Amino acid sequence: MTARLPDTRDTLIAALASDQPADRDRALDLIARAYRDAVVAILALRWGLAREDAEDLAQEFFAAAIAKQWFARFEPARGRFRTFLRACLDDFARSAFRDAARLKRGGAAAHVSLDAAATALGSDADADALFDREWARSVLGIALERLRADCEANGRRIAWSLYARYDLSDLPDAQRPTYASLAAESGEPVTQVTNHLHWARTRMRGHVLATLRALTGDEAEYRAEVRALTGAEPA
Protein backbone atom coordinates (compact mmCIF):
# COMPACT_ATOMS: atom_id res chain seq x y z
CA MET A 1 0.00 0.00 0.00
CA THR A 2 1.40 3.35 -0.99
CA ALA A 3 0.63 6.34 1.14
CA ARG A 4 -0.68 9.32 -0.70
CA LEU A 5 0.44 12.26 1.37
CA PRO A 6 -1.06 15.71 1.36
CA ASP A 7 0.96 17.97 -0.90
CA THR A 8 4.15 19.02 0.83
CA ARG A 9 3.12 22.64 0.41
CA ASP A 10 0.04 21.94 2.55
CA THR A 11 0.31 21.95 6.27
CA LEU A 12 -1.50 19.54 8.48
CA ILE A 13 -3.71 22.40 9.64
CA ALA A 14 -4.71 23.33 6.12
CA ALA A 15 -5.54 19.72 5.31
CA LEU A 16 -7.57 19.20 8.50
CA ALA A 17 -9.49 22.43 7.98
CA SER A 18 -10.03 21.82 4.27
CA ASP A 19 -13.57 21.92 2.95
CA GLN A 20 -12.62 19.00 0.72
CA PRO A 21 -13.53 15.75 2.54
CA ALA A 22 -10.86 13.88 0.55
CA ASP A 23 -8.12 16.18 1.86
CA ARG A 24 -9.37 15.86 5.41
CA ASP A 25 -9.57 12.09 5.13
CA ARG A 26 -6.06 11.86 3.76
CA ALA A 27 -4.72 13.98 6.60
CA LEU A 28 -6.57 11.92 9.20
CA ASP A 29 -5.40 8.69 7.60
CA LEU A 30 -1.83 9.94 7.70
CA ILE A 31 -2.14 10.93 11.35
CA ALA A 32 -3.57 7.54 12.24
CA ARG A 33 -0.76 5.74 10.41
CA ALA A 34 1.96 7.93 11.88
CA TYR A 35 0.72 7.72 15.46
CA ARG A 36 -1.20 4.48 15.78
CA ASP A 37 1.73 2.33 16.96
CA ALA A 38 2.90 5.05 19.32
CA VAL A 39 -0.59 5.33 20.80
CA VAL A 40 -0.83 1.55 21.22
CA ALA A 41 2.58 1.46 22.91
CA ILE A 42 1.60 4.24 25.33
CA LEU A 43 -1.70 2.59 26.20
CA ALA A 44 0.17 -0.63 26.91
CA LEU A 45 2.90 1.00 28.97
CA ARG A 46 1.07 3.73 30.85
CA TRP A 47 -2.29 2.07 31.28
CA GLY A 48 -1.05 -1.50 31.61
CA LEU A 49 -3.23 -2.83 28.82
CA ALA A 50 -2.55 -6.07 27.02
CA ARG A 51 -1.48 -5.55 23.40
CA GLU A 52 -4.85 -6.52 21.96
CA ASP A 53 -6.78 -4.30 24.39
CA ALA A 54 -4.39 -1.42 23.64
CA GLU A 55 -4.98 -1.89 19.92
CA ASP A 56 -8.75 -1.86 20.41
CA LEU A 57 -8.63 1.25 22.57
CA ALA A 58 -6.31 2.97 20.07
CA GLN A 59 -8.84 2.22 17.36
CA GLU A 60 -11.57 3.77 19.49
CA PHE A 61 -9.38 6.77 20.19
CA PHE A 62 -8.84 7.55 16.51
CA ALA A 63 -12.51 6.89 15.74
CA ALA A 64 -13.54 9.33 18.48
CA ALA A 65 -10.97 11.89 17.36
CA ILE A 66 -12.31 11.79 13.81
CA ALA A 67 -15.97 11.79 14.86
CA LYS A 68 -15.52 14.68 17.28
CA GLN A 69 -12.95 16.49 15.12
CA TRP A 70 -10.46 16.79 17.98
CA PHE A 71 -7.45 17.22 15.72
CA ALA A 72 -9.05 20.19 13.96
CA ARG A 73 -8.71 22.04 17.28
CA PHE A 74 -4.91 21.86 17.10
CA GLU A 75 -3.20 25.27 17.15
CA PRO A 76 0.48 25.20 16.12
CA ALA A 77 1.20 28.37 18.12
CA ARG A 78 0.44 26.47 21.34
CA GLY A 79 2.84 23.58 20.76
CA ARG A 80 3.62 20.55 18.66
CA PHE A 81 0.94 18.30 17.20
CA ARG A 82 2.60 15.35 18.91
CA THR A 83 2.17 16.97 22.33
CA PHE A 84 -1.43 17.85 21.48
CA LEU A 85 -2.17 14.27 20.43
CA ARG A 86 -0.61 12.92 23.65
CA ALA A 87 -2.82 15.25 25.70
CA CYS A 88 -5.91 14.11 23.76
CA LEU A 89 -4.90 10.50 24.31
CA ASP A 90 -4.38 10.96 28.05
CA ASP A 91 -7.82 12.60 28.36
CA PHE A 92 -9.40 9.85 26.31
CA ALA A 93 -7.75 7.03 28.27
CA ARG A 94 -8.60 8.63 31.63
CA SER A 95 -12.18 8.99 30.56
CA ALA A 96 -12.31 5.42 29.23
CA PHE A 97 -11.07 4.08 32.57
CA ARG A 98 -13.51 6.31 34.46
CA ASP A 99 -16.37 4.93 32.36
CA ALA A 100 -15.11 1.43 33.02
CA ALA A 101 -15.14 2.07 36.78
CA ARG A 102 -18.68 3.42 36.59
CA LEU A 103 -19.84 0.40 34.65
CA LYS A 104 -18.15 -1.95 37.09
CA ARG A 105 -19.87 -0.28 40.05
CA GLY A 106 -23.14 -0.58 38.20
CA GLY A 107 -22.53 -4.26 37.68
CA ALA A 108 -22.09 -4.11 33.94
CA ALA A 109 -19.05 -5.51 32.19
CA ALA A 110 -16.25 -2.97 31.95
CA HIS A 111 -14.82 -2.42 28.48
CA VAL A 112 -11.40 -1.51 29.89
CA SER A 113 -9.86 -3.52 32.69
CA LEU A 114 -9.37 -1.46 35.84
CA ASP A 115 -6.99 -4.07 37.23
CA ALA A 116 -4.74 -3.39 34.28
CA ALA A 117 -4.79 0.35 34.92
CA ALA A 118 -3.91 -0.23 38.56
CA THR A 119 -0.69 -1.92 37.50
CA ALA A 120 0.25 0.69 34.90
CA LEU A 121 3.99 1.18 34.89
CA GLY A 122 6.60 3.35 33.28
CA SER A 123 7.82 6.81 34.15
CA ASP A 124 7.01 9.89 32.07
CA ALA A 125 10.52 9.69 30.64
CA ASP A 126 10.03 6.04 29.62
CA ALA A 127 6.69 6.88 28.05
CA ASP A 128 8.10 9.87 26.18
CA ALA A 129 11.02 7.83 24.85
CA LEU A 130 8.71 5.00 23.80
CA PHE A 131 6.27 7.38 22.11
CA ASP A 132 9.14 9.08 20.29
CA ARG A 133 10.61 5.77 19.11
CA GLU A 134 7.32 4.36 17.86
CA TRP A 135 6.42 7.64 16.16
CA ALA A 136 9.84 7.64 14.44
CA ARG A 137 9.34 4.02 13.36
CA SER A 138 5.94 4.85 11.84
CA VAL A 139 7.14 8.02 10.08
CA LEU A 140 10.08 6.15 8.59
CA GLY A 141 7.75 3.29 7.65
CA ILE A 142 5.54 5.71 5.71
CA ALA A 143 8.59 7.21 4.01
CA LEU A 144 9.83 3.71 3.13
CA GLU A 145 6.54 2.88 1.42
CA ARG A 146 6.95 6.02 -0.65
CA LEU A 147 10.54 5.11 -1.43
CA ARG A 148 9.55 1.67 -2.64
CA ALA A 149 6.87 3.18 -4.88
CA ASP A 150 9.41 5.74 -6.07
CA CYS A 151 11.91 3.00 -6.97
CA GLU A 152 9.23 1.11 -8.88
CA ALA A 153 8.08 4.23 -10.71
CA ASN A 154 11.65 5.10 -11.71
CA GLY A 155 12.61 1.60 -12.83
CA ARG A 156 15.01 1.30 -9.89
CA ARG A 157 13.89 -1.96 -8.33
CA ILE A 158 17.51 -2.91 -7.84
CA ALA A 159 18.06 0.25 -5.73
CA TRP A 160 15.14 -0.75 -3.50
CA SER A 161 16.32 -4.31 -3.17
CA LEU A 162 19.88 -3.22 -2.26
CA TYR A 163 18.55 -0.61 0.16
CA ALA A 164 16.28 -3.16 1.82
CA ARG A 165 19.13 -5.68 2.10
CA TYR A 166 21.67 -3.21 3.46
CA ASP A 167 20.08 -0.20 5.15
CA LEU A 168 17.00 -1.99 6.48
CA SER A 169 18.91 -5.02 7.72
CA ASP A 170 18.37 -5.47 11.43
CA LEU A 171 21.51 -7.56 11.85
CA PRO A 172 24.42 -6.30 13.97
CA ASP A 173 27.01 -4.34 11.98
CA ALA A 174 29.45 -7.24 11.79
CA GLN A 175 26.84 -9.55 10.26
CA ARG A 176 25.37 -7.17 7.72
CA PRO A 177 26.21 -7.81 4.07
CA THR A 178 29.08 -5.79 2.67
CA TYR A 179 28.94 -3.71 -0.51
CA ALA A 180 31.15 -6.37 -2.07
CA SER A 181 28.80 -9.21 -1.11
CA LEU A 182 25.81 -7.21 -2.38
CA ALA A 183 27.68 -6.67 -5.62
CA ALA A 184 28.33 -10.40 -5.91
CA GLU A 185 24.68 -11.23 -5.16
CA SER A 186 23.23 -8.69 -7.54
CA GLY A 187 25.78 -9.07 -10.31
CA GLU A 188 26.45 -5.30 -10.22
CA PRO A 189 29.90 -3.81 -9.75
CA VAL A 190 30.62 -2.38 -6.28
CA THR A 191 30.59 1.18 -7.68
CA GLN A 192 27.06 0.63 -8.98
CA VAL A 193 25.94 -0.76 -5.63
CA THR A 194 27.31 2.42 -4.04
CA ASN A 195 25.48 4.56 -6.60
CA HIS A 196 22.16 2.74 -6.14
CA LEU A 197 22.39 3.02 -2.36
CA HIS A 198 23.29 6.68 -2.60
CA TRP A 199 20.31 7.33 -4.87
CA ALA A 200 17.92 5.46 -2.55
CA ARG A 201 19.24 7.28 0.54
CA THR A 202 18.88 10.67 -1.11
CA ARG A 203 15.30 9.88 -2.14
CA MET A 204 14.54 8.45 1.31
CA ARG A 205 15.65 11.70 2.89
CA GLY A 206 13.24 13.58 0.63
CA HIS A 207 10.36 11.25 1.54
CA VAL A 208 11.05 11.54 5.25
CA LEU A 209 11.09 15.33 5.07
CA ALA A 210 7.91 15.36 2.97
CA THR A 211 6.20 13.09 5.50
CA LEU A 212 7.23 15.33 8.38
CA ARG A 213 6.11 18.40 6.44
CA ALA A 214 2.69 16.84 5.97
CA LEU A 215 2.46 15.91 9.64
CA THR A 216 3.27 19.31 11.08
CA GLY A 217 1.40 22.55 11.48
CA ASP A 218 3.95 25.16 10.51
CA GLU A 219 7.61 25.75 9.66
CA ALA A 220 8.73 25.94 13.30
CA GLU A 221 7.05 22.64 14.14
CA TYR A 222 8.42 21.04 11.00
CA ARG A 223 11.96 22.04 11.96
CA ALA A 224 11.43 20.83 15.52
CA GLU A 225 10.19 17.44 14.28
CA VAL A 226 13.12 17.06 11.86
CA ARG A 227 15.40 17.71 14.82
CA ALA A 228 13.46 15.21 16.96
CA LEU A 229 13.66 12.50 14.32
CA THR A 230 17.20 12.98 13.13
CA GLY A 231 18.90 15.00 15.85
CA ALA A 232 20.08 17.41 13.17
CA GLU A 233 18.85 20.75 11.87
CA PRO A 234 16.92 20.59 8.59
CA ALA A 235 18.84 22.03 5.67
Partner 1 sequence: MTDAPIGDRALQRLRAQLAAPSQVAGRYTLRGPLGRGGMGEVHRATDAQLERDVAIKLLATELAAPDLADRLQRESRVLARLEHPGIVPVYDAGVLEDGRVYYVMRLVDGVRLDAYARDAAQRGVTRGDLLRIVLRIAEAVGFAHERGVVHRDLKPGNVMIGPFGEVLVLDWGVATTLGAPATGAGTPGFIAPEAAQREVATDARMDVYSLGMVLRDLLGAHTEPVGKPLASLLATATAERPEARYASMAALAADLRRWLDGEPVSVHRESPLERAGRFFRRHEVAILLLLGYAIVRTFIFVRRGL
Where does this chain bind partner 1 (CB under 8 A)?
37, 133, 136-137, 140-141, 144-145, 148, 160, 164, 167-173, 194, 197-198, 201-202, 204-205, 208, 229-233, 235
Q: Cα(199)–Cα(190) distance, rounded to whole angstroms?
A: 14
Q: Cα(23)–Cα(36) distance, rounded to whole angstroms?
A: 19
Alpha helices in the chain (DSSP H): 12-16, 21-46, 51-67, 81-105, 114-118, 124-153, 157-166, 179-186, 190-215, 219-230
Q: Choose between 111 and 223: whose C-beta lies nearer to partner 1.
A: 223
Query: Smallest distance, Å, CB 204 to partner 1?
Result: 8
Q: Choose between 20 and 175: whose C-beta lies nearer to partner 1.
A: 175
Neighbours of 73 (CB within 10 A): 10
Neighbours of 219 (CB within 10 A): 12
Q: Choose between 46 and 146: whose C-beta lies nearer to partner 1.
A: 146
Q: Choose between 94 and 133: whose C-beta lies nearer to partner 1.
A: 133
Q: Choose between 83 and 169: whose C-beta lies nearer to partner 1.
A: 169
Sign of the torsion angle spanned by Cα atoms 23, 228, 148, 171: negative
Query: Smallest distance, Å, CB 167 to partner 1?
Result: 7
CA 16 to chain centroid = 17
Query: Smallest distance, Å, CB 28 to partner 1?
Result: 21
Query: Smallest distance, Å, CB 106 to partner 1?
Result: 40
Q: Choose between 51 and 102: whose C-beta lies nearer to partner 1.
A: 51
Q: Is the Cβ–Cβ distance between 26 and 32 less than 8 Å? A: no
Query: Smallest distance, Å, CB 9 to partner 1?
Result: 21
Query: Smallest distance, Å, CB 159 to partner 1?
Result: 13
Q: Is 45 helix (H, G, I), strand (E, B) or coil?
A: helix
